A = this chain, B = another copy of it.
């Protein structure tokens, strides 16, 4: 009982995500967003609130998809070590080099200045740490990974390394560490 939306909310949200991802939060203007999303200013504010709220919606959507993909790869895998290595390769290759990882960008650029973003990214990193730690634990129980390291510590180390690799990649057009070589190196180091 009213005029229906002329655009798809999720499609528009994806377009907004792409724009924020490419130019960062401060580097993205409302005009950039309306152009990419294919809607007018008024519609944007009516549908998504304001710029910050739109960013948070796009961020949460991105993170939920990422967590779902990680869980699908790691949980119930026959070999935890193989699953971890595959997940690492996917995570490194999944983010285009120039744009980097949207999560890492948001964490570095916004977390210190915005408590909402900080709360969301912090919760996400913690949940990721749990999922990785559980996989590590399974790998240790199966004798695939060295067991003289705390699963949580190892999970933190893996996440830190991954985030760092994605951060460093932002400055070059091409990745100079091939994903395969990188994750093989890591598994060599952490493997039994």
The interface of chain A, by Cβ under 8 A from chain B, is 23-24, 26-27, 98-100, 104-105, 107-109, 111-113, 118, 121-122, 125, 148-149, 153, 156-157, 159-165, 167-168, 170-172, 177, 181-182, 185-186, 188-190
Contacts of A164 in B (CB 8 A): 159-165, 167
- CB atoms of B125 and A171 under 8 A apart: yes
With A and B bound together, what is the CA distance between A156 and B175 in angstroms?
12
Report the minimal beta-carbon distance from A167 to chain B, rounded to whole angstroms. Answer: 5
- Asked whether B125 lies within 8 Å of A168 as measured between CB atoms, the reply is yes
Alpha-carbon distance A120/B94, docked complex (angstroms): 26
Complex: A24 Cα to B107 Cα, angstroms? 13
Of the residues B111, B125, B181, contact of A153 by C-beta under 8 Å: B181
Residues of B within 8 A of A98 (CB): 112
**Given A113-B23, A163-B164: A108 in contact with B170 (beta carbons within 8 A):** yes
Chain B residue nearest to A162 (CB atoms) is: B164
Complex: A185 Cα to B125 Cα, angstroms: 20
Q: Which 8 A-B pairs have the closest CB atoms?
A: A164-B164, A26-B26, A163-B164, A160-B164, A111-B171, A108-B108, A161-B161, A160-B165
